[in-house]
Amino acid sequence: MGDIRKKGMATRREVLGNAHVDRAEQNKTSFDEPFQSMITDSAWGHVWSGDGYTKRERSIVTIALLAGLGHYEELEMHIRATANTGATPDDIREALMHVAIYAGVPSANHAIKIAKRVLQEMKEND
């Protein structure tokens, strides 16, 4: 395993948690292994491991982008990851307020419903 892959896997585990990454690794097949390697190297090894933003800031930006683009399953995963990144419910709300203005109220409205549900589940599981 190369240095970028190791760094990416470590960051991926730090942000998403071992259980999530272990499940993804167990479900990996020869079909999606190249894709998994690419996102581990690119997204996690380069972007999420960079020095320009903190993990909290990256989390906020990611949540806004996922909500604005309507990628709600990934949004849920990244809201859960805030337990590891330091982004707060207030940060999530502010990001989704920006989504409403810059990407549309329907996208933000649906994302807010997801965020409320996920944050409540996280609170109940604490």
DSSP code string of the chain: --HHHHHHHHHHHHHH-HHHHHHHHHH--TTTHHHHHHHIIIIIIIITT-SSS-HHHHHHHHHHHHHHHT-HHHHHHHHHHHHHH---HHHHHHHHHHHHHHH-HHHHHHHHHHHHHHHHHHHHT-
The answer to whether the beta carbons of residues 21 and 5 sit under 8 Å apart is no
* pLDDT at residue 66 greater than cutoff 90: yes
* pLDDT at residue 108 greater than cutoff 90: yes
Q: pLDDT above 90 covers what percent of the chain?
A: 98
Q: What is the pLDDT of residue 126?
A: 83
- State the pLDDT confidence band at 54, using cuts at 50, 70 and 90: very high
C-alpha–C-alpha distance, residues 33 and 120, integer Å: 34
C-alpha–C-alpha distance, residues 51 and 11, integer Å: 13
* pLDDT at residue 31 greater than cutoff 80: yes
Q: Which residue segments constitute the domains of the chain, with CATH numbers given? A: 1-51 (no CATH), 53-126 (1.20.1290.10)
Other CB atoms closer than 10 Å to residue 119's CB: what's the count?
Answer: 17
